[in-house]
Amino acid sequence: MSWLLILLPLLGSMVIIVSPGRLAKQLALVTSLVVLGVSVAAAVVFDGWGRGTWELTSSVEWVKEWGLVLQVGADSVSLILVLLTTFLMPLAILGSFNAIQSRTKEYYGWLLGLQAAMTGVFLAQDLVLFYVCFEFTLVPMFFIIAIWGSKNRAHASVKFLIYTFTGSLITLAGFLTLAWSYAQANGGVWSFEIAALTNHAASALSLHEQAWLLLALLIGFGVKVPLFPVHTWLPLAHTEAPTAGSVLLAGILLKLGTYGLYRFVLPMCPEAVVEWAPIVAILSIIGILYAALVCWVQTDVKKLVAYSSVSHLGFCVLGLFALNPMGVEGSILYMINHGLSTGALFFLIGMMYERYHTRDMGELGGLARTMPIWATFMVFFVLSSIGLPGLNGFVSEFLCLIAAFTAGGSGAYPGVLGPWYAAIAALGMVLAAMYLLIMVGKVVFGPTKATLRHDEQSGLPVDLTVREITVLVPLAVGCIVLGIQPDLVIDNTATAVADTLAVYQGIFEESMPGAAAFVETALPGGAR
């Protein structure tokens, strides 16, 4: 079943390339819906909900002597992210129906190829498959930006490719060193199985070696997340990509980074993580505030939302490095929620752009009067992104922050962060309300600009079409459901998260930072 999830989209993309171009979008939609169906079926037969086990596993031997065995499987966290992927894909395809008019065959082919790679990343159980898929996501995205992007697409796509590729090469170096060290320890028997390598790394590597491994992994995944200060590829790529490209970038591709942090960094180098978590947390807090302030002065709506991703993902990383169950659960929820609400915002901006051919806040205004349905959705998803309680964004943000806050107290809540981290990061909540509401005030409300002309050539009515509403409604439903029933995710992943964090309990018990010592070190910027 896992192979099916990876290969079906690939098959679909082959079929699209050989079939006539006018059928491309329908074929792509059908394929993605079938994959969605398969993933739902997988979720139903999946036995790992609420347990930490790996299910749906299967392996193919490739070169056994070198340890090259391709293995797939899913635990609850992976499967939830796979579901997010398969859920967003049909919407991304449906959302491109009108926007993409040239070279449709290639476009949908690449999109499905991208889906295969992304699913592969989440389902991979060995490093070879993981890394291949991780890198292969770059190729379709590169072409999607370079061919169907807007004005500055050439620069954006090259920068995206080289930047993230450089980052992941360093990660590859880290992985290879780890595998080599494993082979050394096991009498020359190579293996790339993630579970085995994780065990080896966590138990056999010295603190020094773990720190280097952490650095190598952090560079690759940090670029992907993106963590301050390696985020500059993102605003460019997001802004220049076509709508579906931006949606998938924000929705899934960034999550590859946080998933990597969760899957590899946390379990592989626990001691180094405990040592370095304050630094990573400070970087993510800088990212939160810095990107939020940068958002404030943007004039391009799409760029604003792009920078807001940098700010939001800061919360996600902060939650992960709080190293307690609330934070990691919050972080997993954040991955999904950010995919839903920021994805939807990119859809909405795309829909607006197709009608008015501008994203400049100075030129837009008063769209609530002309496009009431669009405006309703826009306000809704902005609220979700701001973190209004009752909608999805709130739960994850709250959990990440409370986790960072309590991590480091004496007694029941060990950790290496503390109240100051959360208090400063929480300023991001206020700033998020500021920049997003200012944007809404300029674009959605206010007097309708006389200069704003709806483009009749676009073939779209003034307000949203049924197709566009169909794209947005599932996302909105997702926002509400996860807002009032976050237990759907939390309970089902609880054990998996607890297993991942089990190693930290031992470390904290050994070296519990006392409350007094903690207060000294947890002052802002005081991570030694």
Partner 1 sequence: MIDVTLQLARIIQAMPPVPASEVVTDTGQWWIGFILWCPLISLVLCGLCAACRVKSKLPAWITVFSLAISFVLTLLLASMDSPPERVELFKWINVHWDGGSFVANFAFYIDSLTILWMSFVTGLGALIALYASEYMEPDVGRGYSRFFAGISVFLFAMICLVMGDNLLMLYLGWEGVGFASYWLIGYYYQKPQAVAAAKKAFIVNRIGDLGLALAIYLIWSTFGTIQYNELISVLDAGTYSPVYENWSVQAIPYLLMLAAFGKSAQLPLYVWLPDAMEGPTPVSALIHAATMVTAGVYLVARMYPFFLLAPESLHVVAWVGGLTALLAATIGMAQYDIKRIFAYSTISQLGYMFLGLGVLTTYGAAYHVFTHAFFKAVLFLTCGAIMHGFAGQLDLRKISGLRRMKGWRIVSWTMFIGCLCLAGFPLTSGYFSKDAILAEAFVSHGPGFEVLGWIAIFTAFLTAYYTFRVWCRVCAGEVRYEPGDEHHGDDHDAETHGREFHPHAPRFAINIVLLLIAAGALLAAVPYFMGNEVEHATGGWVADMVNDSTAATGVPGHPEHPGTAAHGAEAHHGSILGMDPHVAMYSISACVGGLGLLLAFWLHLWRRQDADRLRSWLLSRFWTRWLPVAMENKWYVDEIYHAFIRAPLWLFGHIFYAIDRYIIDGLLVDGTARLPRLLARCFQPLQNGMLQSYAVTMAGGAVLIALLMLLMLQFFTGGSVS
| Binding residues among 200-239 for partner 1 as defined by CB under 8 A | 229, 232-233
Q: What is the DSSP-derived secondary structure letter of residue 138?
A: H
- SS3 per residue for 292-316: HHHHHCCCEHHHHHHHHHHHHHHHH
DSSP assignment of 41-80 equals HHHHH---TTS---EEEEEEEEEGGGTEEEEEEE-HHHHH
Contact with partner 1 (CB under 8 A): which of 4, 46, 82, 384?
46
266 binds partner 1 (CB under 8 A): no
423 binds partner 1 (CB under 8 A): yes
Biggest alpha carbon–alpha carbon distance for the chain: 76
Per CB under 8 A, the segment of 26-34, 63-71, 136-144, 385-393 that binds partner 1 is: 385-393
Contact with partner 1 (CB under 8 A): which of 92, 280, 313, 494?
494
Please report, as residue ranges, which positions from 424 to 453 form the binding site for partner 1 (by CB under 8 A): 426-427, 429-430, 433-434, 437-438, 441, 444-448
325 binds partner 1 (CB under 8 A): yes
Contact with partner 1 (CB under 8 A): which of 294, 305, 344, 416?
294
Backbone angles phi, psi at 39, to 5 degrees: -70, -35
Q: Which amino acid is at 246?
A: S
* Sign of the Cα pseudo-torsion (487, 488, 490, 495, in order): positive
Please report, as residue ranges, which positions from 168 to 207 form the binding site for partner 1 (by CB under 8 A): none
Nearest residue (CB) to partner 1, 120 versus 365: 365
458 binds partner 1 (CB under 8 A): no
Cα gap 144→110, rounded to integer Å: 7
DSSP assignment of 211-278 equals HHHHHHHHHHHHHHTTPTTS-THHHHHHHHS-HHHHHHIIIIIHHHHHHHIIIIIHHH-HHHHHHHHH
Contact with partner 1 (CB under 8 A): which of 488, 499, 507, 527?
488
Residue 526 beta carbon to partner 1: minimum distance, rounded to whole angstroms: 15
Residue 263 beta carbon to partner 1: minimum distance, rounded to whole angstroms: 19
Nearest residue (CB) to partner 1, 259 versus 380: 380
For 380, what's the count of Cα atoms within 13 Å in the CB-facing half-sphere? 19
Residue 448 beta carbon to partner 1: minimum distance, rounded to whole angstroms: 7
Q: 285 with 169: CB under 8 angstroms? A: no
Nearest residue (CB) to partner 1, 213 versus 305: 305
Residue 188 beta carbon to partner 1: minimum distance, rounded to whole angstroms: 26
* Sign of the Cα pseudo-torsion (344, 346, 349, 354, in order): negative
* 433 CB neighbour count, 10 Å cutoff: 17
Please report, as residue ranges, which positions from 126 to 165 form the binding site for partner 1 (by CB under 8 A): 159, 162-163
Residue 62 beta carbon to partner 1: minimum distance, rounded to whole angstroms: 33
Q: What is the DSSP-derived secondary structure letter of residue 512?
A: P
Contact with partner 1 (CB under 8 A): which of 111, 217, 368, 416?
368
Contacts with partner 1, 15-44, as mask; x by CB under 8 A: ----------------------------xx
Cα gap 465→454, rounded to integer Å: 14
Nearest residue (CB) to partner 1, 205 versus 313: 313
119 binds partner 1 (CB under 8 A): no
Cα gap 175→196, rounded to integer Å: 13
**Total residues at the site for partner 1 (CB under 8 A)?**
75
Residues listed for the chain: 528
492 binds partner 1 (CB under 8 A): yes
Nearest residue (CB) to partner 1, 192 versus 315: 315
Contact with partner 1 (CB under 8 A): which of 22, 61, 102, 412?
412
Residue 159 beta carbon to partner 1: minimum distance, rounded to whole angstroms: 8
Contacts with partner 1, 246-265, as mask; x by CB under 8 A: --------------------
Q: Which amino acid is at 136?
A: F
Cα gap 295→414, rounded to integer Å: 34
Please report, as residue ranges, which positions from 68 to 97 form the binding site for partner 1 (by CB under 8 A): none
